[in-house]
Amino acid sequence: MSFGELFLRHPDLFPERLSGERWGDESLLLDVAGGPYRIENLAPAQAVAIRTRYDPLVSDPDGSEPADLRIFRAAEEDLLPVATAGWEYRPDVEVTGDRLRCAGLDLLGRLEGLPEARGALWTPTDDPGRFLGAFENLLRLVVAYRLLARGGVLLHSAGVVVEGRAWVLFGRSGAGKSTICALAAEAGLDVLSDELNLLWVRDDGGVEVESLPFAGDFGQRCRPRVRFSLAGLLQLAKGDRETRSPLPLAHGIAGLLACAPVVNADPGRQEMLLARIEALARLQPPELLTFRRDGRPWDILAAS
Residue of 215 and 34 predicted with greater confidence: 34
Q: CA–CA separation, 105 vs 82, rounded Å?
A: 8
Residues 98 and 162 in one domain: no
162 part of a folded domain: yes
Interval 97-124 mean pLDDT: 95
Whether the per-residue pLDDT at 303 is higher than 70: the answer is no
Supply the mean pLDDT for the chain.
Answer: 91
Whether the per-residue pLDDT at 244 is higher than 80: the answer is yes
Residue of 262 and 41 predicted with greater confidence: 41
The pLDDT, as a whole number, for residue 220 is 65
**At which of 119, 149, 179 does a domain end?**
149
Q: Provide the pLDDT confidence category of residue 238 given band limits of 50, 70 and 90.
A: confident
Residues 156 and 298 in one domain: yes
The pLDDT, as a whole number, for residue 293 is 81
The pLDDT, as a whole number, for residue 287 is 95
Residues 131 and 164 in one domain: no
Interval 267-287 mean pLDDT: 93
Tens of pLDDT along 181-218? Answer: 888 888 899 999 888 999 998 888 889 999 899 988 77
Residues 70 and 182 in one domain: no
Residues 144 and 170 in one domain: no
Q: Angle 294-297-300 (CA atoms, 0-180°, nearest 5)?
A: 150
| CATH number of the domain that residue 234 is part of | 3.40.50
The pLDDT, as a whole number, for residue 132 is 95
2 part of a folded domain: no
**At which of 89, 118, 149 does a domain end?**
149
The pTM for the full model equals 0.92
Residues 216 and 163 in one domain: yes
129 part of a folded domain: yes
Residue partners of 80: CB distance under 8 A and separation at least 6:
6, 7, 8, 9
The pLDDT, as a whole number, for residue 292 is 84
48 part of a folded domain: yes
The pLDDT, as a whole number, for residue 304 is 63
Percent of the chain residues topping a pLDDT of 70: 99
16 part of a folded domain: yes
Range of the domain at 226: 152-302
Residues 61 and 202 in one domain: no
Concatenated DSSP letters of the chain: --TTTTTBS-GGG---SS---BS-SEEEEE--TT--EEEEEE-HHHHHHHHHHTGGGEE---S-SPPSEEEEE--GGGB-----TT-----EEEEETTEEEEEETTEEEEEESTTT-EEEEEES---HHHHHHHHHHHHHHHHHHHHHHTTEEEEEEEEEEETTEEEEEE-STTSSHHHHHHHHHHTTPEEEESSEEEEEE-TTS-EEEE--S--STT--------EEEEEEEEEEEE-SS-EEEE--HHHHHHHHHHTSTTGGG-TTTHHHHHHHHHHHHHHS--EEEEE-TT--THHHHHT-
Residue partners of 260: CB distance under 8 A and separation at least 6:
153, 154, 155, 156, 273, 277
**At which of 149, 177, 207 does a domain end?**
149
189 part of a folded domain: yes
Interval 19-46 mean pLDDT: 96
Percent of the chain residues topping a pLDDT of 90: 68
Residues 84 and 179 in one domain: no
Q: Provide the pLDDT confidence category of residue 1 given band limits of 50, 70 and 90.
A: confident
6 part of a folded domain: no
Interval 237-256 mean pLDDT: 91
Q: How many domains does the chain have?
A: 2
Whether the per-residue pLDDT at 17 is higher than 90: the answer is yes
1 part of a folded domain: no
Whether the per-residue pLDDT at 179 is higher than 90: the answer is no
Tens of pLDDT along 42-86? Answer: 999 999 999 999 999 999 998 777 889 999 999 999 999 987 777
Residue of 248 and 299 predicted with greater confidence: 248
The pLDDT, as a whole number, for residue 157 is 93
Whether the per-residue pLDDT at 277 is higher than 80: the answer is yes
Residues 131 and 180 in one domain: no
Residues 227 and 182 in one domain: yes
Residues 123 and 204 in one domain: no
Residues 171 and 262 in one domain: yes
Whether the per-residue pLDDT at 260 is higher than 80: the answer is yes
The pLDDT, as a whole number, for residue 66 is 84
